Structure 1
Amino acid sequence: MFKAEHLCHLSAEQQAFLVNYKLHSLPIYQQLIKEQIQLVTLECDHYPSNLKQTSRPPILLFVQGNLEVLNRPQIAFVGSRTPTAYGNQVTRHLVNELVEQGFVITSGLALGIDACAHLAAIESGQTIAVMGAGHHHIYPKRHQQLAQRILETGGALVSEFIPDEAPQKYHFPRRNRVVSGMSLGTVVVEAAAKSGSLITARHALEEGRDVFAVPGNIFNAVSAGCHSLIRDGAKLVSCTADILEEYELLIKNSSQNVKKELAGSVLLASVDHDTTPVDVISERSNLPMDKVLIALLDLEIQGMIIAVPGGYCRVATHSNNK
C-alpha cells in the first residue's frame, strides 16, 4: 500500500496532494523505480527553473530519461498536425540550426510539426516530449518508437499525470502550458486560425516568453494562425538568426560546454540502473571505447554512476531532492 511516508522528501502539502491523487491505491513508488520514471517535485534541483517561474507550475512532474536536459535552454516547436512539405522543411531547418547552438527542442509528441521537431532534434541533439497522458499511454500510439528514440538519445519524456492516466481532451491544454513554460520561446509553424498551437502561444505570451511565428502561404488556411500571431506582435521568423538574436548572450556563455554536455548526457542515457557492461554502453551511445571510458570516469566523479563488477550502474536521483 502506498503511504505518504514513502515520499518523505516531499513537503507535507505535496504528500497530501499525492495521497489524494489516486496514488493511495497504487504501489506507485515501487512502480516508478522499476520503470525508471523519476518524480521531480517543485523542491527538486532538477525541476525546470523556467517552469517554476510560471504562474501555475505543476506540483510535480513524472520524468523518464535524462533529468539534466530539463534545465538546459529550450525552444518549443508547435504547429499543425497535418503540415505541408514546406512546414516540415522549415521545422527541420530551424531545429537543426538551433540544436547546433546548444538548444534542447521541446514539443508535445503530437502528429505533424511536433513529431518533425522531435525527429530533427534527435539527429544531432536532444529533445523533450511533454505528454498529455501518463507514461503507460504514449499518445498517439504510433509514436511509441519515437518516444524510445528520444530516451536513447539523451532526451526526456515529461508528464504531470501519473503513469496509468489515459489521455483526455482536457489534458492537452495542461500539456501545452508545460511546453511553453519550460521554454525560453515558442516557435509556431503552420497553425490554423483555431489551432491548439495557439493555446501554447497564448500561454507563452501570458508568461512573458518569446513567441515566434513562421509565415506561410496566404492562400492556405493552415497558415492563418501564424499570420494572426504576427499581426498581434509575434516575431516573424524568416531564418534561424531571427530566433538566435534574442539569445545572443546565452549562446555565447554556453557554446564552449555544449558538445561536452551532449556527449555526457547521451552516455548517461546509455547506462541502466542495473549493471550495464562497458561494451553495451559504447554500442548504445555510438561512441568509441576510449572516449566512453574517459566520459564514464567523469560521470562517476560527478556521482551520477557507480562502478560495479561487470560494468556501471546509474545512480537513482530521487535522493537528490532538497
Structure 2
Amino acid sequence: MSVQLSRHQYQVITLWYLVQHSLASYHKLVNHFGHIDAVLDPKNLMQWSTLKIHKNHIERAREFQQPDSQAQFQTLIDIICHQCDFVCTTQDPHYPQQLLHYSDCPPILLGQGCADLLNTPQISIVGSRKASKAGMQISYDFSYFLAEAGFTITSGLASGVDQAAHDAALQHHRTIAVIATGIDTTYPKSNTSLKEQILRHKGAIVTEFLPFTPPLQHHFPRRNRIVSGLSLAVLVTQASLNSGSLITAKAAAEQGKLIFATPGHIYDAHYQGCHQLIRDGAILVDHPTQILEDIALPTHWHIEKNASQTELPQSSSDIPIHLSATYHALSWQGQDLDEIFAKTQIPTSTLLSNLMELELEGLCVQQFGLYFKHTLSSV
C-alpha cells in the first residue's frame, strides 16, 4: 500500500491543509489568484486577509514555514503516501466524474482499495445506526440483490444499516465506504474488522479529510453529500425522524437523485423518518426489483432474468486507446456534446466519431441529445 503524489496533488493537499477542509476558503483563494501555484506563493500570503479568509487559516499559513509546522505536515504526507492506495484531485482521470457536476465537490479524495469502483454505477443504502433486526435484514437483502445486479453499494461505514449494506455488497466485491475522518482513523472502532473486510474483498474506503481528522459532528453531513453524490439513487431502509440518513436523503434531493424508502409499521418510531420521506415524495419500495425498474430508463441499465450475469463496466485496459479519453469523460447521468467537449477538448468531428464508435461497442448510449456511459452486459 503506497502512493506517489504528483506535484498538483501535493499542492492541493497543502492548500486543503491550510484552510482546514474549508470549501469556501479553498475556492475563494483559487478563484482569486487563478492558480494554486499563486495561492501558495509566500509573496501572495498578505493578500489572503483582503479576501475575508478565516483568521485561523491565515495564521496557519503564516506559521506553515516554521520547522514545527513543516515537520507536522511532513508526517501527514508520509501517512498519505504509506496508507493510501490512491489520491485523486478533480484534475485526475479517476476522480469520480459524477461529483464534478456539483459546486461543493471535494477538491481531493484519498482512498484505500479499488479506485476503479468510484466511477461505477452506484446506489447508496443508508439508515439508522440502531437498526432493528428487521431493518438490518432488509438492508442486507436489498444490498445483496442490487450488488448481484451489478451496482456498487455506497454507504458510510456506520453501525446498523450501513454495516449491513456493506456486509452484503462485499460478497460481490462491490462496495464503497465514505468516511467522515482521515484515512488513518476508523469510526466507529467496532467497524475496524468491516473496514478490513471491505479492502480484502476489493472494495474501497474514501474520504475528503486529511489524516489526523477526528470524527467531528459537522463532518458527517459533508460525508453524506459525497455518499449521495456518488450514487444514482439513495435508499433509506430504516430511519427515525432524527436519523442522519435523512440528511443524506436531503442532499440527494438537492442533487436531483432518486430517493427510495422502505415502509414499516405505522407505530414503529424507527420507521417514521422513512414515512416522512415517502410523504415528501420518496418512492416507496418493498422489493429491490422496483429500484431497478425506476432507474433503468435514465441509466439505460439492463434488467436481466439472471441478475448475476450482469457485468461491471469494462476496465480501462479494455477500452481502445483512441477512445479512452472520450469514454472516461462520459457519466451515468448523461451529458450533451458541449459538456463532453469541455472535458476533453477533442475536435467536434473526432468527438462525434468517437461517440459513435463507443455506441457500436456498447459503451455509450445516446438519448434526447445526451450521451450516457453504458455497461456491457450479457443480455
CA contact (8 A) 2:17 2:210 kept: no
Looking at structure 2, the residues matched to 257 and 152 of structure 1 have their Cα atoms a distance apart, in angstroms, of 23
Query: 3-state SS of the aligned residue for 1:95?
Result: helix
Please point out which of 152, 164, 168 is paired with 1:104: 152
Looking at structure 2, the residues matched to 46 and 175 of structure 1 have their Cα atoms a distance apart, in angstroms, of 19
**Rg bigger for which structure?**
2
Query: 3-state SS of the aligned residue for 1:61?
Result: strand
Deviations 1:11-48 (A, max 9, x none): 97775444554795322433322223422111111111
Residue 261 of structure 1 and its aligned partner are, at CA, apart by: 6.2
Matching residue of 1:8: 7
CA contact (8 A) 1:213 1:230 kept: yes
Listed as ranges, the gaps of 5+ residues in structure 2 are 21-59, 61-68, 322-343, 345-379
Residue 247 of structure 1 and its aligned partner are, at CA, apart by: 2.6
Looking at structure 2, the residues matched to 44 and 253 of structure 1 have their Cα atoms a distance apart, in angstroms, of 32
Query: 3-state SS of the aligned residue for 2:185?
Result: coil
Looking at structure 2, the residues matched to 53 and 234 of structure 1 have their Cα atoms a distance apart, in angstroms, of 22
Please point out which of 152, 160, 164 is paired with 2:208: 160
RMSD: 2.9
Higher RCO structure (Cα 8 Å, ≥6 apart): 1
Residue 260 of structure 1 and its aligned partner are, at CA, apart by: 6.6
Deviations 1:236-277 (A, max 9, x none): 011112110123253229989954769x89xxxxxxxxxxxx
CA contact (8 A) 2:148 2:308 kept: no
Looking at structure 2, the residues matched to 195 and 238 of structure 1 have their Cα atoms a distance apart, in angstroms, of 20
Counterpart mapping for 1:81-96 below 5 A: 81-96=129-144
Looking at structure 1, the residues matched to 245 and 89 of structure 2 have their Cα atoms a distance apart, in angstroms, of 27
Report the more deviating stretch, 137-146 or 123-132.
123-132
Looking at structure 2, the residues matched to 130 and 244 of structure 1 have their Cα atoms a distance apart, in angstroms, of 23
Q: How many residues align?
A: 264
Q: Does 1:215 align with 2:263?
A: yes
Matching residue of 2:253: 205
Q: Does 1:120 align with 2:168?
A: yes
CA contact (8 A) 1:7 1:15 kept: no
Matching residue of 1:70: 118
Looking at structure 2, the residues matched to 16 and 82 of structure 1 have their Cα atoms a distance apart, in angstroms, of 38
CA contact (8 A) 1:55 1:207 kept: no
The amino acid that maps onto 1:157 is I
Looking at structure 2, the residues matched to 19 and 7 of structure 1 have their Cα atoms a distance apart, in angstroms, of 18
TM-score (norm 2): 0.64
CA contact (8 A) 1:69 1:155 kept: yes
Looking at structure 2, the residues matched to 206 and 169 of structure 1 have their Cα atoms a distance apart, in angstroms, of 21
Counterpart mapping for 1:1-322 below 5 A: 7-10=6-9, 16-18=15-17, 20-21=19-20, 24=70, 25-27=72-74, 28-248=76-296, 249-252=299-302, 259=311
CA contact (8 A) 1:77 1:188 kept: yes
Looking at structure 2, the residues matched to 148 and 134 of structure 1 have their Cα atoms a distance apart, in angstroms, of 16
**Compared with structure 1, are the counterparts of its residues 19 and 37 closer, same or farther at alpha carbon in structure 2 (3 Å cutoff)?**
farther
CA contact (8 A) 1:75 1:106 kept: yes
Deviations 1:105-159 (A, max 9, x none): 0000001000000001112231000001011110000111100111111111011
CA contact (8 A) 1:213 1:234 kept: yes
Residue 9 of structure 1 and its aligned partner are, at CA, apart by: 2.9
Report the more deviating stretch, 211-220 or 84-93.
84-93
CA contact (8 A) 1:78 1:114 kept: yes
CA contact (8 A) 1:108 1:131 kept: yes
Looking at structure 1, the residues matched to 156 and 254 of structure 2 have their Cα atoms a distance apart, in angstroms, of 19
Identity of aligned residues (%): 38
Listed as ranges, the gaps of 5+ residues in structure 1 are 1-5, 266-297, 303-321
